[in-house]
Amino acid sequence: MLSSGSLTLAAEALKQICWCLLYVIVCVCPLGPALLFVKTSRGKEEGRRFYACSACRDRKDCNFFQWEDEKVSETRLAAREEYNRNRQPFFTHRQNVERYRNFVLLPLSKRRFCQECQQLLLPAEWEKHSDHQFLCDISTAQLKSPSQLLYPLENKKTNAQYLFADRSCQFLLDLIIDLGFRRVLSVGTPRLHEIIQSKASQEEDFRVRSLLLDIDFRYSQFYAEDEFCHYNMFNHYFFGGEAARETCRKFLCQDNGERVIMVTDPPFGGLVEALASSFKKLMAMWKETEKEGHNNQEMPMFWIFPYFFESRILEFFPSFSMMDYQVDYDNHALYKHGKTGRRQSPVRIFTNLTPSMIVLPVEEGYRFCALCERYVSSGNQHCEICNSCTSKDGRRWKHCVLCKKCVKPSWFHCSNCNRCALPNHSCERTDAGCFVCGRAGHKRSACPSLSRAGTACQ
């Protein structure tokens, strides 16, 4: 539960936004405890509070909804229980582990994976899936990279899965190894988890281990109960109950809690406040059993998220800083590496480790700024006025003396708004006049002087 301090903060925020997360409660949604939200109309102080599913912001995916002060009828409760039952996975994690054991004993010719059900099939089950598409001859290598076998979930609001490009995944692993970590708590990073587990099973002197926490239960088919926990990172809910929580706690606290790092790559539509609250609970779990020594330390963490969430993340984790490294994805057309001619990825690493320790690859153009004491993108110039390498997106930013800060290269100072903005923004105070001619009564787009002069002077 969030403190009353954040409740007041949330109430403040209500004046600006309509939907606001207050705190987590226990309810009967199939994805674990629901969150309490507040619905307000703009300007109204008091909103009506309701519970909704924490993982699915789209009502199509999970229809759980209830006004806080609402009385729920017996029939509706029964209907809800039925709905939840139908959404429970067909096999339990334990059953899936047992099935996997049998599956690997099969000769290659009998190893099938149903693409429709996203499930490994045992021969006795073939018939039930006879009109489904399936893959045959599932090799050990395929079993070791389930993220390639499973199709990425694509639902935009809830469960979008963007898988790391090999280059980025390898970079993360090398970094983790170079920093001396031995255990990785992979929260929503199945691909990082799988390269670690795969190496651990193949290379004798590879010492790193990983525990995957993810809401995608399909992974329970490939990992034992000490390798994967079905987990909802929006409400810190372990579907496997106390036993699963204990698995996680033990993993974090092994070897006196030393040499462990948490790496997370949440869906970007996720609520930062809900995520931060869960991550703090994971950090607290690590701190609990930590013995002597690092009293005031935080569990090391990489939170992978777009740069435009920087201020939000820093609000909850003031000790974090944002690294310039651009994280690339396989199945995200927009977020591929800049050098391949695509747009540059906006996704960065936020960490509570000392920035100078995060060495970024020189071959990819990153360099060390001795003044900032961190690695920065090649295009990121140190601004002498700001005394920092100010670019967030990798392009060279320019300093605006009026704003007293560096801004994107495509922006320029708007005297109406009294700040820098894109040339075609609509001014905040239209009464202050048009951005082009300065006269009142119209916006820049409708400026008569523009239409007369044509577009050339834009």
Taking each continuous run of H as one helix and of E as one strand, the counts in the chain are: 11, 23
Residues 163 and 95: their CA atoms lie apart, in Å, by 27
Q: Decide: is 132 part of the binding site for Zn ion (CB under 5 A).
A: yes
Q: Which does 214 bind (CB under 5 to 8 A by kind): ligand SAH, Zn ion, none?
A: ligand SAH
Q: Which does 399 bind (CB under 5 to 8 A by kind): Zn ion, ligand SAH, none?
A: Zn ion
If the CB atoms of residues 114 and 160 are measured against Zn ion, the closer one turns out to be: 114
Residues 246 and 340: their CA atoms lie apart, in Å, by 44
List the interface residues with Zn ion, window 46-105 (CB under 5 A): none
If the CB atoms of residues 347 and 420 are measured against ligand SAH, the closer one turns out to be: 347
Residues 210 and 206: their CA atoms lie apart, in Å, by 12
Q: Which does 177 bind (CB under 5 to 8 A by kind): Zn ion, ligand SAH, none?
A: none
Say how many C-beta atoms besides its own lie within 10 A of residue 72's C-beta: 11
Can you tell me whether residue 214 is helix, strand or coil?
strand
**Considering the complex, what minimum distance in angstroms separates the CB of residue 167 from Zn ion?**
25
Q: Which does 406 bind (CB under 5 to 8 A by kind): ligand SAH, Zn ion, none?
A: Zn ion
**DSSP-H helix ranges across 34-189:** 74-87, 93-105, 140-144, 146-149, 166-178
Q: Which does 386 bind (CB under 5 to 8 A by kind): ligand SAH, Zn ion, none?
A: Zn ion
- Among 56, 62, 125, CA closest to 90: 125
If the CB atoms of residues 184 and 253 are measured against ligand SAH, the closer one turns out to be: 184
Could you say which of 66, 96, 189, 345 contacts ligand SAH (CB under 6 A)? 189
**Considering the complex, what minimum distance in angstroms separates the CB of residue 388 from Zn ion?**
6
Beta-carbon contacts of 170 under 8 Å, excluding residues fewer than 6 positions away, are 195
Q: Decide: is 120 part of the binding site for Zn ion (CB under 5 A).
A: no
Could you say which of 2, 27, 117, 432 contacts Zn ion (CB under 5 A)? 117
Site size toward ligand SAH, by CB under 6 A: 21
Site size toward Zn ion, by CB under 5 A: 20
- With left for phi above 0 and alpha for psi between -120 and 50, is residue 43 left, alpha or beta? left
Q: Which H or E run contains 55? A: none
If the CB atoms of residues 24 and 143 are measured against Zn ion, the closer one turns out to be: 143
List the interface residues with ligand SAH, window 27-66 (CB under 6 A): 55
Q: Decide: is 324 part of the binding site for ligand SAH (CB under 6 A).
A: no
Beta-carbon contacts of 243 under 8 Å, excluding residues fewer than 6 positions away, are 225
Residues 54 and 37: their CA atoms lie apart, in Å, by 10
Residues 290 and 268: their CA atoms lie apart, in Å, by 31
Q: Decide: is 162 part of the binding site for ligand SAH (CB under 6 A).
A: yes
Sign of the CA dihedral with 274 first, then 275, 281, and 284 last:
negative
If the CB atoms of residues 32 and 338 are measured against ligand SAH, the closer one turns out to be: 32
93-102: long-range contacts, CB 8 A cutoff, minimum separation 24: 93/217, 93/220, 93/225, 93/228, 93/230, 93/240, 94/225, 96/220, 96/221, 97/220, 97/224, 97/225, 99/221, 100/143, 100/221, 100/222
Q: What is the DSSP letter of 107?
A: -
Q: Interface mask (CB under 5 A) for Zn ion, residues 330-369, using x and -?
A: ---------------------------------------x
Q: Decide: is 267 part of the binding site for ligand SAH (CB under 6 A).
A: yes
Could you say which of 30, 146, 188, 338 contacts ligand SAH (CB under 6 A)? 188
Q: Please give the angle made by the CA atoms of 307, 170 and 379, to the nearest 5 degrees.
A: 40
Q: Which does 345 bind (CB under 5 to 8 A by kind): ligand SAH, Zn ion, none?
A: none
If the CB atoms of residues 106 and 400 are measured against Zn ion, the closer one turns out to be: 400
List the interface residues with Zn ion, window 291-310 (CB under 5 A): none
Q: Which residue is nearest to ligand SAH (CB)?
A: 188
DSSP 375-442: EE-TT-PEETTTTEE--SSSSPPEEETTTTEEE-TT-EEETTTTEEE-TTPPPS-GGG--TTT--TTS
Q: Decide: is 275 part of the binding site for ligand SAH (CB under 6 A).
A: no
List the interface residues with ligand SAH, window 231-250 (CB under 6 A): 231-234
**Considering the complex, what minimum distance in angstroms separates the CB of residue 323 from Zn ion?**
13
**Considering the complex, what minimum distance in angstroms separates the CB of residue 27 from ligand SAH?**
16
Interacting residues with Zn ion (CB under 5 A): 114, 116-117, 129, 132, 369, 371-372, 382-383, 385-386, 389, 399-400, 402-403, 406, 413, 420
Interacting residues with ligand SAH (CB under 6 A): 55, 159, 161-164, 188-192, 214-216, 231-234, 265-267
